[in-house]
Each structure stands twice: as structure tokens, then as C-alpha cells.
Amino acid sequence: MRPPPALALAALCLLALPAAAAAAYFGLTGREVLTPFPGLGTATAPAQGGAHLKQCDLLKLSRRQKQLCRREPGLAETLQDAAHLSLLECQFQFRHERWNCSLEGRTGLLKRGFKETAFLYAVSSAALTHTLARACSAGRMERCTCDDSPGLESRQAWQWGVCGDNLKYSTKFLSNFLGPKRGSKDLRARVDAHNTHVGIKAVKSGLRTTCKCHGVSGSCAVRTCWKQLSPFRETGQALKLRYDSAVKVSSATNEALGRLELWAPVRPGSPAKGLAPRPGDLVYMEDSPSFCRPSKYSPGTAGRVCSREASCSSLCCGRGYDTQSRLVAFSCHCQVQWCCYVECQQCVQEELVYTCKH
Ligand SMILES: *[C@@H]1O[C@H](CO)[C@@H](O)[C@H](O)[C@H]1NC(C)=O
């Protein structure tokens, strides 16, 4: 077994989190300092800084990452937010797939080189880049604030105003957090690092400059502009498309540089030896399992709700589906009443629900 690279730890921290620290995110961990009689002053509340250090200890981080976490108040919370965001987005993007991103107790995927692994790495780093840039502009971090990049167009009659999302800080922080990029001999580490950067790139390419005009009715004498990230849903969508067209790679040693490079296989008929994957491509090393049956990678598709016209045959893997009927209430026989509202009756309709057989 090779030692887990720092990158794997980062993804693990982000994705295995729901088990360990999501409890901290959503509510009680069981380790809180109890104040059984508030107002009587029996318990001493922990200092702000102390709480922050404790949060860092609860996260699954490498030693170096834990140090960075402890040094930067606000970071632990941002890491948890990012973990939550990446999981939600993954589950949304894969809601119609056989693998629906249910990672509960099934983090085996993170140690493999499937297309799904590639997506997980990319969506984790994208979520952290996004969340951190937002946390800076929202004033939740101590060491960063609004985006202060000078605009190329700054000679025009507009000024930077409003707090912009600080992508510059967040990408710089992330590359430090993930550790130095060594010329690794390990294909897996190369693939993970590549996919991590696809995620960061996806957030970067969603950065927009938004402007607002000021001045006498539309004269736009002064414009205020700021950098704004696109909603994370759009980034998730972009990464899902990358997943759909992910490129299978193998390795080749670059003799001149003396290190390992990623190579995508040639298309049939092409004379070239191999192509380096494009920087925006998600890359993977091994074909995915079918995800039909429960395994260490997925709970299988038994019990999944499907659409008879669209998805049942592929989602249920040929095992067939059960049909249940349920009653759904809806508004009907609506009439406009004098004056001026609409009155409806409640009707009940039978609806069929299809679920994959065991
Ligand atoms: C994923 O599918 C499993 C059944 O295979 C189901 O139990 C689980 O709730 C689903 N997860 C999500 C997030 O939809």
C-alpha cells in the first residue's frame, strides 16, 4: 500500500465529513461544554479561539492541514461548509444515475480511479475554492477580505466597490493547503491532482464582473464593479458534463523531464502515440463497476424511484421494477370569484410510483 497523498486526505476530509463532523455542522457532537444552568454561572464558556482549535481537531486532516486550520480562525467552519456543499451538489448532479453519490459508509470510491472518483475530487476542490472565496467576502475569515485585484479596465470611469468574492486568496490558500505539487511517480496521485485542478478551474471560469450604474437617470457617470462567483449549481453542472465526457488515461514517462505524464489513448487511425489530456478534462484510470448491486462502492439501486418511460430499465439493471399507487391531492375546478380571488376544490388523483426491484 502506498501512503495516502495529501490530496487524498483533502478529499477524504471533505467527503467523509458528513459522518464525522457533519454532526458538528448540524447540531450537537456530544462533546460540548455543558451549561446545565444558564444564568447561574456554573460553567465557564470556552474562549472563542479555543472553540476554533477544537473544531480543527474534529476534522479529518493531515498534520500540516491541521496546523493551517489552527492558524486561521474561521477556516474549520469553512471546511465544513465546503464539505456539505460538495456532498449536496454531488447528490443533486447524480440523482438520476445508478451511483447517486451516497457516500454513507462507502468511501471506498475515493481510493480508486473511477470516473466517479474524478468527479468527487473535482467537486470537493471546487466547493472549497468557492466557499472560501465567499467566506472572505462575507467577512467570516480573519486573514482575508474582499477581492482587491486591480481591474484591467480600471482606467475607465468606474471604481471597485462592493465586496467581491476573493478567488485569488482562495486558490492560493488551496494550493498551499493541498501541499506542494511534487513530480510524483504515482499515476493515482497525478490523476487526483489533475482532477483537483479541474475543480478549481471550473470555479475560476465562473467568475464574472458585475457592474452597477450610478448617476442621473441612467447616465452611468460612475460605475461600481465587483467580482462575483456564479452560483455553485452552475459549477456542479459544468463538472457533471466533464464527468460525462471524462477521458481514460494511462501513464508514460517523459524521458526529457524524467517524470510521469498522463496520456490519453489515441483515437483509432491517428498516427500519434498519445495525447496529454486537456487541462479541463476530468481523467480516470479504471472502468467503473455497474453500481447495480450493493458493494463497498454503492448501496446498489434496489428501491430507487425511477421513471417508467425514461430511467427504469437502466436504473434497475434489468431486474424490473415494482409499481405502487399513491393518492396525490391537487387543486381543481378553479373559478374566479367576484372580486378578486380564485376558489378551487381539492381533487385527489392516483399516481403510480415505480421502484427498482431487489
Ligand atoms: C441513493 O440511493 C439509495 C438506494 O440505492 C437510497 O437509499 C439513498 O437515499 C439515495 N441517496 C440520495 C441522496 O438520493
Task: Measure the CA angle with vertex 21, ends 16 and 27; round to 5°.
Answer: 140
Q: What pLDDT shows up at residue 93?
A: 97
Q: What is the mean pLDDT of residues 39-58?
A: 55
Residue nearest to atom 8 of ligand 1 (CA): 102
The answer to whether residues 131 and 121 touch, using CB atoms and an 8 Å cutoff, is no
Q: Give the closest residue to 89 by CA, choosing from 165, 14, 141, 20.
A: 14
Distance of CA 331 to the CA centre of its chain: 38
Q: Where are the beta strands (DSSP E) in 171-242?
A: 208-214, 222-228
The residue among 185 and 183 whose pLDDT is bigger is 185
Q: Is the peptide bond before 225 cis (omega within 30 degrees of 0)?
A: no
Query: What's the pTM?
Result: 0.79
State residue 341's pLDDT score. 86
Comparing C-alpha atoms, which of 253, 251, 275 is closest to residue 264? 275
Q: Tell me how far the alpha carbon of residue 196 is from its chain's centroid.
A: 11
Residue 106 has which C-alpha cell? 462507502
Ligand 1 atom with the shortest distance to the CA of 298 = 5
Residue 94 pLDDT:
96
pLDDT, one tens digit per residue, over 63-98 is: 888 888 998 888 999 998 998 999 999 999 999 999
Torsion sign (Cα): 64, 175, 58, 191: negative
- For 9, other C-beta atoms within 10 Å of its C-beta total 20
* 199 alpha carbon – ligand 1 mean position (Å): 25
- At 195, the pLDDT band (50, 70, 90 cuts) reads very high
Exposed / middle / buried, residue 299 (Cβ in 10 Å: 0-12, 13-18, 19+): middle
Measured in Å, residue 6 CA sits from the centre of ligand 1 at 29
Looking at the chain, the number of H-run helices and the number of E-run strands are 11, 10
Closest Cα to atom 6, ligand 1: which residue?
304
Helix axes 75-93, 6-15, angle to 10 degrees: 80
Instruction: Enumerate residues 6+ apart whose C-beta is below 8 A from 314.
Output: 98
Q: At 68, is the secondary structure helix, strand, or coil?
A: helix
Q: What is the DSSP string of 106-129?
A: -GGGGGS--HHHHHHHHHHHHHHH
Give the mutation target among 92, 98, 100 for probing the ligand 1 site: most ligand atoms within 8 A of CB.
100
What whole-number distance in Å separates Cα of residue 247 and Cα of residue 249? 6
Instruction: Provide the angle, in degrees to the nearest 10, between the axes of the packed helices 115-137 and 75-93.
Output: 140
Asked if 211 and 224 count as a contact pair (C-beta separation under 8 A), the reply is yes
On whether the CB atoms of residues 279 and 201 are closer than 8 A, the answer is yes
Residue-wise pLDDT tens digits, 5-33: 333 334 444 443 433 333 333 322 323 22
Cα of 351 to ligand 1 centre, how many Å?
21
Give the pLDDT score at 294.
Answer: 93
Which atom of ligand 1 sits closest to the CA of residue 300?
5
Q: Which of 42-46, 60-64, 342-346, 352-356 has the least mean pLDDT?
A: 42-46
Q: Rounded CA gap, 28 and 93, in Å?
A: 29
For ligand 1, atom 5: residue with the closest CA: 301
